[in-house]
Amino acid sequence: MKRTVIGVDIGSSAVKIAQTHPQENGSKLVNLTSDITKATGHKNSAVVIVVNSPKTTAKRVVLPAMPRGELKDAIELDAKTYFPFSIEDAAIDFEITGDVIEKGIKKSEVLVSVCPNSAINEALAFCDKHGLKPAQIIANSAALKNLLRSMKTENSGSTAFLDIGAQFSELVIFNGKSIWLVRKLPVSGKSFTEGMGGVLVSDLGRVELTVDEAERIKRDIGLPQDGASKDLIENKISHSQLFSMLRPVAERLANEIERSFDYYREDTGGLKVERLTLFGGGGLLKGLDKFLRESLDVDVEIGDPRKAAGGGASGGANIEPAAFAGAIGAALTDFKGTNLLPVGYKDAERQAVKKGVFKAVSASIAAIMVLTFMGLRVQLATLENKIYGSRLQLASLQPELARVSKNTATSAILADEPYWGDAFKELSALCADNICINEFQMEHQAVTLKGEIMPKEGGAENELADFVKSLESGIFKEARLLSTKKISPRSSEFEIKCRVE
């Protein structure tokens, strides 16, 4: 029986919690709250945590088709080139989202997620404090992807989700239902509040809004529809003054979104984003959807993430569904995507299962001893039959377990081994008659070639330069001649280093 899932979005200003229950045709939202005790009270639920920070993001990359073990090594080697910041102290995971054909060659489309370990540790500390045992940690972009995947739409075009948080915003552009671009935007709910700061001069004299007043006016009024109105708000500022304070922030947000849309259009060969859906507390700013619709010339709507989970579960008058996009998306996980949960926690979960099995076996043994002592032969015989049947089942599984163990060991040994046959075949085709390879070393795709050359007319260095150039026409890359040494009037030694793909 499938467990209910609790999605927990630990935001900078509030914690959002959503709970879904499995149904025949998907999952149904049954609870929406900001009360953490609502999550800790459901011990049989799977808990999924959403982490988000300025350096928590995802990147779509296309890589040559290869076994998953080799793909993992390739991503770990090249991941530092995927993101515009250091990932030395960060957790990385990936999922293969599909296959693509480039120039007639089949390749893998991969989504790589990254999150600083500091953000993950903060989330784990929160879980420990409240007695939560997470089964999965995902980035906010993955939660938004779960929302789109669960929506009952046949749309195969291009759409975008914009989650406007208190401290930063995240734009996710989808091609169909696959993530194409994830970008953090430097405009947030706090940016609009700060835009309302400073001293204003009106007919009432010098006026300055407090943070609470700015938040209240932002929530109740938003971007005024009548920007020319002189009517006062709370006897302090006019609609026109409020519009003049908020408009620069809204324009900056629109410009950032348009830059991302332009990049997507160029990267996809002309595809245009057709719809923008606003989530997050900042997305509820009144008039923002209309402003962006006119600025970007695309359909803009305020999203209701509950639609992806069968609706319902209003959560009360103080709950704004759009702010719960991350939590609901986490509660809709299929556990097949990325998981940023540290290995130690994953192992702890496995140990907990083993501990439960041990307790169950111990309880069975104790029961057998009690029954033996009491002389309840009939019950004892029944238990012995069950144990015997379990042993038979275990024995029947032994061959399969041995095969899996053998395959696992073989994969561990061969995971990092290069393709020696391909390398030798390539060398034999490229070596001229006057070039002899005496030593060939290959480790972690780094190749060292040592040998002798008997130059003809062009000299050893010229012929070796041509040889190095021919190496790069095949599977050898970044070839460079390290040294040459004349060992006789007619021959020279050489050493070449390169990399094999």
Whether residue 205 lies inside any domain: the answer is no
Whether residue 218 lies inside any domain: the answer is no
- Total domains, the chain: 3
Identify residue 359 by its one-letter amino acid code: K
Whether residue 133 lies inside any domain: the answer is yes
Domain that holds residue 393: 360-414
Q: What is the mean pLDDT of residues 21-26?
A: 82
Whether residue 473 lies inside any domain: the answer is yes
Same structural domain, 370 and 460 = no
- Lowest model confidence (mean pLDDT) among 127-136, 278-287, 470-479: 470-479
Whether residue 240 lies inside any domain: the answer is no
Q: What CATH number should be reported for the domain holding residue 264?
A: 3.30.420.40
Q: What is the mean pLDDT of the chain?
A: 83
Calculate the alpha carbon distances from 300 to 105, 232, 395 in Å: 38, 29, 61
Whether residue 269 lies inside any domain: the answer is yes
Q: How confident is the model at residue 184 (pLDDT cuts 50, 70, 90)?
A: very high
Same structural domain, 154 and 10 = yes
Rg (CA), the chain: 31
Which residues contact residue 274 at a Cβ distance below 8 angstroms, ignoring those fewer than 6 apart?
A: 157, 158, 159, 298, 299
Same structural domain, 376 and 425 = no
Same structural domain, 473 and 495 = yes
- Lowest model confidence (mean pLDDT) among 23-32, 38-47, 436-445, 487-496: 38-47
Same structural domain, 9 and 117 = yes
Decide if pLDDT at 362 tops 50.
yes
Whether residue 206 lies inside any domain: the answer is no
Same structural domain, 320 and 432 = no
Same structural domain, 86 and 146 = yes
Contact (Cβ atoms closer than 8 angstroms) between residue 88 and residue 28:
no
Same structural domain, 315 and 444 = no
Same structural domain, 370 and 445 = no
Q: What CATH number should be reported for the domain holding residue 428?
A: 3.30.1360
pLDDT tens digits, 283-333: 888 999 999 999 999 999 999 999 888 876 666 656 788 999 999 999 999
Coil, strand or helix: which one is 492? Answer: strand
Same structural domain, 116 and 21 = yes
Calculate the alpha carbon distances from 372 to 214, 360, 376, 383 in Å: 76, 18, 6, 11
Decide if pLDDT at 412 tops 60.
no
Same structural domain, 410 and 427 = no
Which residues contact residue 215 at a Cβ distance below 8 angstroms, ignoring those fewer than 6 apart?
A: 193
Whether residue 370 lies inside any domain: the answer is yes
CA dist 73 and 83 (Å) reads: 17
CA dist 32 and 35 (Å) reads: 9
Which residues contact residue 429 at a Cβ distance below 8 angstroms, ignoring those fewer than 6 apart?
A: 474
Same structural domain, 130 and 279 = yes
Decide if pLDDT at 124 tops 50.
yes
